[in-house]
Structure 1
Amino acid sequence: MLNWIIPASDELNMFIECYWFIEKTVISDRDSFPKLNPDPSAHLILSPALDKYSYTHEQQVYSGMGSHLLNPHQHTFELDHSKPFTHIGIKFRPGALYSFSRITSAITSINVVEPLELTKLITIDQALISHLFELARKQPIHCIKKLEHYLQAWIKDVRDDQHSQLVRRVFTELETTPISELAGKLHCSQRTIERSFRRVTHLTLKQYQAMAKLEAMLEHLYQRKSSDINWADLAVQFGFSDQPHLIRYLKKQIGLTPQKYALKRGLTIDIYGGVKT
């Protein structure tokens, strides 16, 4: 399986975190149904028109063919990677799609996957999309440069209103400030902050903070050997009352205990713009 992740250029970094590519060329049982962790970011996924996709959470299945939009999601999705497929992904920063009028209307809710007519969003045809896939396999940097060339049109009609401006300030403050103290730091009411944040990101502040915490914890685990992880210390580091609380939390969020995640980290993945396996 071929995959890579490349950061966005400085010009687009305000809205796009990175681009990613993943391709499976043969049918195999290995990693056929990996898990996709919760993510506050939306992903625009370019895929050949006949490629099938499937995202499952409990009894809910989102399936289709071709390019699609993976909205911010609190759930852990199970992916169907049993057949060959090709994806180029654009990982937007949380709330960034609010600024792009061409695609904002596509988001109807969090926790869903929606089909898209890609050629209506980006001025390219299927032949050029196929060319992007060829470049992704052999010349990733060139692929991203060409893709960003077509995305430039989005910058011309970007929306930057009072809500997006406030939410950018919120993201900056959340790195060091509890939610309860944001109103004093930003000199506006908590209600105003909450309303603008939900309007831009489709998430509450608590939902976003919980997802960011989970992402940081999983990345911390991924970077360490199972034998090097002190679970009691980890619980304290990430603000849990004790180790059992940490275990219950991870079990609820990703369907695995911490020990099982550490052992099966290659199967519980965020290759969609996150940890690369």
Structure 2
Amino acid sequence: MPSNAPMGIIHLQQGERKFQLSRYAPGDDIAPFVRHYWVVRWDLAGQEPYTQHVIPNPCVNLVIEQGSSAIFGPGKEKYGYHLKGQGSVFGVKFKPGGFYPFVKGAVSDLLEQPVGIDRVFDREPRALEALVLSHSDDQRNVNLVEDMIRAKLPLPDEQVALVNDMVDFIYAQPDMTKVDALCEHFGMNIRTLQRLFDQYVGVSPKWVIKIARIQSAAETTDGNDTHDWAKLSMDLGYHDQSHFIKDFKSILGQTPEAYAVSKRAK
């Protein structure tokens, strides 16, 4: 079923004036590895181009986009989709750790260089673009891409479920500040945890904790017209407001106050 939850999309309500975002659940056999399929469509004919920014997350995405389809690892900072004219993009968001069983190689390797779809799923990217992007029937496209994934479906991997439990735990605790808390909760030493995240997630648990806090801050800011930055920083476990502002700016490229102003300006 389509969903309009933000999931790291900055100023989603304003963006929806420019594009349509839909998300679809995977089949039961693919659900252990894939979080959802997503489709973005836009028609900006006669309008100025629009850039939609997204907060990075600990997921691999397979993106089918005209001329630039590939599989991308988790980002390290805010990134933007530049929309102009008319078009669409189809994506597969893998669960944290869910892409590793398809390649059996450290997901951290994808941070520097995306991997070709043909290397993993034996489908030539330009041909796949022609099949998917030429149709507006989302369910047809979901079925087509799901069949492609199903043909390469790996055996169940209990580590993927463990990684997802860990990431879910982090996002459910926006005031978590230390990796030690994660180690204690899951009974795992820090070196084992770091190796697990490098291999399956592609980024460190420390980074996931940071990004979860900043996403929570951004969504709180988006949902309110007045802001108490000192209280918000305390709610997120920061001992001083300046550290919160520094982290926020390192991910979003602007201070919380500037971010709030940019929301009002849209």
2:157 to 155, 160, 168: 160
- 1:237-252 to structure 2, matched below 5 A, reads 237-252=235-250
* Contact 2:109/2:202, CA 8 A, preserved across alignment: yes
* Contact 2:64/2:89, CA 8 A, preserved across alignment: yes
* Contact 2:102/2:120, CA 8 A, preserved across alignment: no
Show the counterpart of 1:146. 144
Show the counterpart of 2:20. 3
Change (3 A) 1:246 1:67: same
Q: Would you say how many aligned residue pairs link Structure 1 and Structure 2?
A: 243
Show the counterpart of 1:60. none
* Contact 2:63/2:69, CA 8 A, preserved across alignment: yes
Show the counterpart of 1:61. none
Alpha-carbon distance between aligned partners in 2 of 1:249 and 1:96, rounded to the nearest angstrom: 27
Identity of aligned residues (%): 19
Show the counterpart of 1:256. 254
Change (3 A) 1:70 1:97: same
User: Within the alignment, does 1:180 sit opposite 2:180 as a pair?
Assistant: yes
* Contact 1:235/1:242, CA 8 A, preserved across alignment: yes
* Contact 1:67/1:115, CA 8 A, preserved across alignment: no
TM-score (norm 2): 0.73
* Contact 1:34/1:267, CA 8 A, preserved across alignment: no
The one-letter code of the counterpart of 1:43 is: N
Change (3 A) 1:13 1:212: farther
Show the counterpart of 1:170. 166
Alpha-carbon distance between aligned partners in 2 of 1:20 and 1:79, rounded to the nearest angstrom: 14
Change (3 A) 1:247 1:182: closer
The one-letter code of the counterpart of 1:95 is: G
Alpha-carbon distance between aligned partners in 2 of 1:34 and 1:160, rounded to the nearest angstrom: 34
Show the counterpart of 1:19. 37
User: Within the alignment, does 1:228 sit opposite 2:226 as a pair?
Assistant: yes
User: Within the alignment, does 1:196 sit opposite 2:213 as a pair?
Assistant: no
* Contact 1:235/1:243, CA 8 A, preserved across alignment: yes
Q: CA deviation at 1:44?
A: 0.7
Alpha-carbon distance between aligned partners in 1 of 2:185 and 2:49, rounded to the nearest angstrom: 50
Indicate the larger mover: 22-31 or 118-127: 118-127
User: For structure 2, which runs of at least 5 residues remain unmatched after alignment?
Assistant: 1-17
* Contact 1:27/1:82, CA 8 A, preserved across alignment: no
SS, match of residue 264 in structure 1: helix
Change (3 A) 1:219 1:172: closer
Alpha-carbon distance between aligned partners in 2 of 1:184 and 1:240, rounded to the nearest angstrom: 20
TM-score (norm 1): 0.71
* Contact 1:73/1:112, CA 8 A, preserved across alignment: no
Q: CA deviation at 1:93?
A: 1.4
Indicate the larger mover: 207-216 or 117-126: 117-126
SS, match of residue 99 in structure 2: helix
Alpha-carbon distance between aligned partners in 2 of 1:106 and 1:185, rounded to the nearest angstrom: 25
User: Within the alignment, does 1:47 sit opposite 2:47 as a pair?
Assistant: no
Change (3 A) 1:172 1:117: closer
Q: CA deviation at 1:210?
A: 1.1
Show the counterpart of 2:6. none
The one-letter code of the counterpart of 1:220 is: T
* Contact 2:26/2:37, CA 8 A, preserved across alignment: no
Change (3 A) 1:71 1:27: farther
SS, match of residue 114 in structure 1: coil
The one-letter code of the counterpart of 1:130 is: A
Q: CA deviation at 1:43?
A: 1.0
SS, match of residue 228 in structure 1: coil
* Contact 2:107/2:199, CA 8 A, preserved across alignment: no
Alpha-carbon distance between aligned partners in 1 of 2:241 and 2:110, rounded to the nearest angstrom: 30
User: Within the alignment, does 1:70 sit opposite 2:57 as a pair?
Assistant: no
2:55 to 37, 53, 56: 37
* Contact 1:100/1:159, CA 8 A, preserved across alignment: no
